[in-house]
Structure 1
Amino acid sequence: MSVATPGAHTVAGSGPPGNRRPAEADRRKPHLLRPQGYTWILPAFVISVGLIYYAVGYTGYMSTLEWNGTSPTSTSVGAANYVQAFGDPIFWKAIRNTAIAFVFTFVLQTGLGFVFAAMLHSRPIAGNVYKVVLFLPVVLAPAITAPVFRQIFAADGQLNQLLSAIGLGGIAQPWLAQPSTALWAVLVIMVWHGTGLAVILYFAAMSQIDTEMLEAAEVDGAGNMRKLFSIILPNVKGTTTALATLTAIGVLKIFDIPYLVTVGGPNFATEFLGTMIYRTSILLGQVGYASAISILMLVLAIAMGLIFNVRRHRDGKGA
C-alpha cells in the first residue's frame, strides 16, 4: 500500500510520457506545412509558368529559326538572328530612341509630377478637380488620343495655328513629317500620358512625411523652397527610384503611341523596339529575327530592373 507524502503535488506533464495528456503532447509536436494554401495560388502558378514562361521559352526557340510565321517548315540558323540584330542600324536606332525616351520622359514626368504634387499638398481650391484633370491622360487609351495629336501636330494643325497667332509662325513646321522633330513630338505625347501617375505617387509619398518635421523646420525659419528641397525631396527618394524603374520598363515595351501617331517613321525616326518587332514579324514576315529582338528586349528589361532594384536597396540601407 502506497502512502501519499504530505505536501507532494502532481504537476501536469511532469509524470512519465505515457501519462501526459494528449493536448499537451500535441503542442510539443512540430507543426507540419498544410497544403490548403496551394489551392489558391495554383491558378496563378499555372498561368505564370504555363503561359508566360512557356511563351518566353518558345520565343527563344523561334529566335534560332528562319521562319515567316506561316510556313510549315523552318530552318535552324543558330545565333544568326542575334548577329543580324547587332549589325542592323535600325535596331541601334531603336535602342538610341529608347535611351532618349527614358531620359526625356523620366526627367519631365518626375519633375512635373513632383511640382504638381507639392502644389496639390498646399490644398488649393478645387484640389480634387486638379487631381482628376492631371490623372485623366493616364486612363485614356492611346487609340483615342492618337488622332487628336496627329491633328494638333499636323502642318495645318492647331499648334502651328497657335504659333502663327502669337507671332511665332516662323517656327511652324510639319512636326510629325520630318525626322528632326517627329521623335520629340512623340515624346511630348508620352510625357502627357504619364505625368499623372507621377503626380499621384508623389502625392501619396508626401502624405506619409511626418508633419512635425515640417513644423520644426518652420520654427527654425525654413521657407517653402527650403522645406521642399531639403526635407520633402529626400523623403520621396524611394518614389523617384520606383518611377525610374517604371519608366525604363515602359519605354522598352512602348508600342501604341509611336505606332498610332507616326507608324515608326519618318525614316525610322520614331522606331522603338516594340514597333520594330511588329514591323519585322507581321509586315515583313521575319518571325525568327523578330523573336531574337524580343529576347534582347527582355534581357534589357531584366538588366534595368535589377540595376534599379539594387540601387533602391542601397538607398534604403543608406537611409
Structure 2
Amino acid sequence: MTSTTSRKTGARRPSSTAPPSPGRSRKGALRPSGIPWIMPAFVFVVGLLYFCIGETGYLSTLDWDGTSPTPTPVGLENYQRILQDPIFWQAIWHTVIFFIVTFTAQTAIGFVFAALLHSKVKLGAVYKVIVFTPVVIAPATMAPVFRQMFAADGQLNWALDHIGLGFLSQPWLAQSGTAMPVIMFITVWNFTGLTFVLYYAAMGQIDPETLEAARTDGASNIRTLVSIVWPGVRGTTVALGMLSVIGALKTFDVPYLVTIGGPNYATEFLGTYIYRISIPSAHVGYGAALSIMLLILALAGAIAIAVRANRKDSETGV
C-alpha cells in the first residue's frame, strides 16, 4: 500500500547517501579543528597563569601579613618602597654579575665540549653522559655536598693543605668576598651540561660540505670554529642568553640552600629576598610587589636580547 501510494504521488524517498549541502560543507571547512587540542594548554595559561599574575598584582597593592582577614590597601606604596630598598638594588647587582659570569663560563665551556665531542673521540657517549649528569641532580641533593666541600674544615681546604697551598685555605662560605664565586661555580657546574647539549645539537645542523670546503681551503680547526661553527650556532646562543637572563633573575635554590643569602646579604638574589620577605617576615604585600618587579625585569631582559639579536640579523642580512 505504501509503495503504491508513493508511485501514485510521485514522491521520492530521501537517499541516505545524498551529498551534504554546499552551505554545510563550507561551514564545516571553516571550523577550526585544532581548537580541542590546544584548549587544555590555553585554559591553563590564561585561566591559571594570568590569573596568578593578576592576583599577585592585586596583593602588591596591600599591606598584608598573609593571614589577617582585613588587609590594608596601600596603592603603589610598596613599589615606592622597593625603589628605596638598598637590599633590592644589591640583589639586582648580584643578579647582573651572576648572569655575566655564569653565562660567559657556561657558553665557553659548553661550546668547547660540544666541538670536541663532534670530533672523533673515543668513548664519546660516556663523556656526554658525564657532562650532562649534573643537570639532572636536584639542588637539594648537591647543596649539602658543596656546603661541606667549601666549609672551613671541608675537603677543599684539606686538599689545599696537603698539596702545599695551605695559605689559600679560608672559610669560603663565611666571607662576603668568596661566597658569591662559590655560588657561581656551583651554578656553572650544574647547568653547563644543558648548554653543551644544545650546542651539540646545533652543530649537528651545520652543513658538512661547508666545513669540508673550509678544511680544503686550508682553514685550521680554530679558524673553522670561529668563522663557521660559532656563527652557525648563533641562534642557540641567543636562546641561551634569554634563558640565562630569566634564570639569573629567578635564582633561588642554590644560594638559599648553600648560604641562605648570606653572609651579610652577599649572595642575596631577588628569589631569596622574596622568600624571606613573604614567608619568615610575613610581608606578603611587599613580597608580591617584588615578584611583579622580578616578572617585569625578566620580560624586559628577554625582550632586549631578542630585539638586539633581530637588529644584528637585519644589519648582517641574515
Normalised to the residue count of structure 2, the TM-score between the two structures is 0.90
d(CA) in 2 for partners of 1:242 and 1:42?
Answer: 27
Unaligned runs of 5+ in 1: 1-21
Matched, 1:123 2:111: no
d(CA) in 2 for partners of 1:80 and 1:169?
Answer: 52
d(CA) in 2 for partners of 1:60 and 1:27?
Answer: 47
Identify the match of residue 292 of structure 1 among 264, 289, 293.
289
- Secondary structure class of the residue paired with 1:96: helix
Alpha-carbon shift at residue 123 of structure 1 (Å): 2.4
- Secondary structure class of the residue paired with 1:124: coil
Alpha-carbon shift at residue 87 of structure 1 (Å): 0.6
- Counterpart mapping for 1:52-67 below 5 A: 52-67=49-64
Matched, 1:224 2:211: no
Identify the match of residue 167 of structure 1 among 157, 164, 167.
164
- Counterpart mapping for 1:249-264 below 5 A: 249-264=246-261
Matched, 1:271 2:271: no
The RMSD of aligned alpha carbons is: 1.9
Alpha-carbon shift at residue 36 of structure 1 (Å): 3.7
Alpha-carbon shift at residue 27 of structure 1 (Å): 11
Which residue matches 1:17?
none
Which residue matches 1:191?
188
- Secondary structure class of the residue paired with 2:236: helix
Matched, 1:72 2:66: no
- Secondary structure class of the residue paired with 1:43: helix
Which residue matches 1:90?
87
Which residue matches 1:305?
302
- Secondary structure class of the residue paired with 2:191: helix
CA shift in 2, pair 1:27/1:228, >3 Å: farther
CA shift in 2, pair 1:222/1:24, >3 Å: farther
Matched, 1:205 2:202: yes
Which residue matches 1:15?
none
CA shift in 2, pair 1:89/1:202, >3 Å: same
- Secondary structure class of the residue paired with 2:75: coil
Matched, 1:245 2:238: no
d(CA) in 1 for partners of 2:28 and 2:67?
Answer: 55
d(CA) in 1 for partners of 2:107 and 2:172?
Answer: 25
Q: Which amino acid aligns with 1:131?
A: K
CA shift in 2, pair 1:212/1:300, >3 Å: same
Q: Which amino acid aligns with 1:264?
A: G
Q: Which amino acid aligns with 2:271?
A: G
Query: Percent identity among equivalent residues?
Result: 58
d(CA) in 2 for partners of 1:28 and 1:141?
Answer: 54
Which residue matches 2:12?
none
d(CA) in 2 for partners of 1:237 and 1:106?
Answer: 14
- Counterpart mapping for 1:121-160 below 5 A: 121-160=118-157
- Secondary structure class of the residue paired with 1:216: helix
Q: Which amino acid aligns with 1:173?
A: Q
Which residue matches 2:13?
none
Query: Could you tell which deviates more after superposition, 160-169 or 280-289?
Result: 160-169
d(CA) in 1 for partners of 2:24 and 2:64?
Answer: 63
Alpha-carbon shift at residue 39 of structure 1 (Å): 1.9
Aligned pair count reads: 299
Q: Which amino acid aligns with 1:313?
A: N
